Amino acid sequence: MEFKKTALITGASRGIGAAIAKRLAKDGFNVLINCSSEKSLNEYGKVLQKICEEEGVRAEVFACDVSKYEECEEMFRFTKEKFGRVDCLINNAGITKDTLLARMEPEDFEAVSNVNFKGVFNTTKLASAIMARQKSGRIVNISSVVGLKGNVGQFNYCATKAGVIGMTKAAAKELGRRNVLVNAVAPGFITTEMTEKIDEGFKEKVKESIVLKRFGKAEEVAGVVSFLCSEDASYITGQIFVVDGLLLI
């Protein structure tokens, strides 16, 4: 039987996460599709599972709130049972609760931090233990360009995405001796359901601030993740790959 590597993608039901799952399945990876809830799993995850399986790989779906360590433990146990190993972890799960700092409630900061920041700790800790024993692995964290530049009305989101960059660099230094490579991708404005909700006037203003004069595609982010999970990236770790069409603001 041909050996296939396994990739676990968090927040994979829609948007960038779904695009990454499809691309890695096309690359020949078995995939574990993480959804945040049973509702999301039934509504989106099972459809994505079938799409990935059409590439000739095995795909499984698992509902898990990445902010809860015990649920993450169960997800990794499930993945090991189904596939025997974890070769790539893609930390994509994330939420927003945007508002100006003066109006931001403590629970708004805590909710975003729990998923976007603590969730990365939970999954990275569990994946790194498996990968260290395998003496191989790739971890790709999906940060954001606002983690580098900041953004009005996103104090909580910017803080978590900047924190993910710090965790990426620290983990790369800790895990490199075990041949576990850790990198981050920082997308700019990417066309997803989230950006579709933004006011059209504001979107046009943002596009004028992008050198390429358009929003990116989820598939373009997935392409960078694909590269970082490939053998072509075997000497790259601790790096942040910005995918923003050169956003000047």
Reported as a single tens digit per residue, the pLDDT across 194-242 is: 777 777 888 898 899 999 999 999 999 999 999 999 999 999 999 999 9
The question of whether 157 is a catalytic residue gets the answer yes
Q: Is pLDDT of 120 > 90?
A: yes
Segment 164-178, tens digit of pLDDT: 999 999 999 999 999
Q: Is residue 249 part of a domain?
A: no
The pLDDT, as a whole number, for residue 3 is 66
Evaluate whether 7 touches 90 at the Cβ level (below 8 Å): yes
pLDDT at 127 over 50: yes
Position 200 in a domain: yes
Whether 233 and 227 have beta carbons less than 8 Å apart is answered as yes
Report pLDDT for 2: 55
pLDDT of residue 221: 98
Rounded CA-CA distance 69/76 in Å is: 11
What is the CATH classification number for the domain harbouring 36?
3.40.50.720
**83 belongs to a structural domain:** yes
Domain assignment of residue 1, yes or no: no
Strands (E), 98-229: 137-142, 180-187, 190-191, 216-217
User: Which pLDDT value is given to residue 193?
Assistant: 79
The larger pLDDT score, comparing residue 248 to residue 40, is at 40
Q: Tokens representing 12?
A: 């994979």
More confidently predicted of 192 and 187: 187
Domain total in the chain: 1
Mean pLDDT across the chain: 96
Measuring CA to CA, which residue among 171, 73, 159, 54 is closest to residue 108?
A: 159
pLDDT of residue 197: 72
Task: Give a yes or no: residue 216 inside a domain.
Answer: yes
Could you tell me what percent of the chain has a pLDDT over 90?
92
Class of residue 1 by CB neighbours under 10 A (exposed 0-12, middle 13-18, buried 19+): exposed
Residue 181 lies in a domain: yes
Has residue 1 got a pLDDT over 50? Answer: no
Element housing 60 (H / E): strand 59-63
* 131 CB-near residues (< 8 Å, 6+ apart): 86, 87, 89, 137, 139, 175, 178, 180
Average pLDDT (94-118) is 97
What pLDDT score was predicted for residue 249? 67
Name the active-site residue from 44, 69, 157, 235.
Answer: 157
Question: Does 89 fall in a domain?
Answer: yes
Q: Is residue 28 part of a domain?
A: yes
- What's the predicted TM-score (pTM) here? 0.96
Q: Residue 31: give the domain boundaries.
A: 6-243
The string of DSSP codes covering 125-159 is HHHHHHHHHHT-EEEEEE--THHHH--TTBHHHHH
Helices and strands (H, E) in the chain, number of each type:
11, 9
The pLDDT value recorded for residue 184 is 98
